[in-house]
Structure 1
Amino acid sequence: MIAAALTFAFACYAVALLLDLWRIVRGPDSADRILALDTMVINVIALFVLYGVWRGTAVYFETAMLVAMVGFVSTVAYCRFVLRGDIIE
């Protein structure tokens, strides 16, 4: 039963990633693109966690933590660039 649930969850997050990619390409302004990139990071984190559950190892949970940290920093940096025109003052 857990295999079927994992397969369904992988499919749902794959569709979500495709929809995020569509929003990045077709986003009317940069705020939509920033939001789509942040959502894409969250979906990738979820995929790493699901893959770690499927494989039964903790390495992918640590990878998810690293992706979360990098994703947060990149979202903040991109927002600062859009708002102020530079990242480092």
Structure 2
Amino acid sequence: MQLEIITKEDLKQLKTEMLAEIRQLIKPEDRQSKQWLKSAEVRKLLNISPGTLQNLRINGTLRFTKIGGMMYYKLEDITRLLEGGQP
């Protein structure tokens, strides 16, 4: 039987790795709890370019709300769009 010594540094590394994995697991849930998404978040979620997002706005496929200079999209509308329904 071979013994392996665990140091405090090993435990700190384990803690860091576990926290990173927990954050990754929690992240998708945070997105689901958000009601409104910014343009960059929508583009990342749908994997589309800024021009494609603009076309979705222009042709009425994806509704949005503009506050100041920022555009916001309802997560509910994006989900409907992905499922093939109209927002």
Which of the five TM-score ranges fits, normalised by the shorter chain? 0.3 to 0.5
TM-score, normalised by the number of residues in structure 1: 0.36
Which one has the bigger strand percentage? 2
Which one has the bigger helix percentage? 1
TM-score, normalised by the number of residues in structure 2: 0.36
Select the structure of larger CA radius of gyration. 2
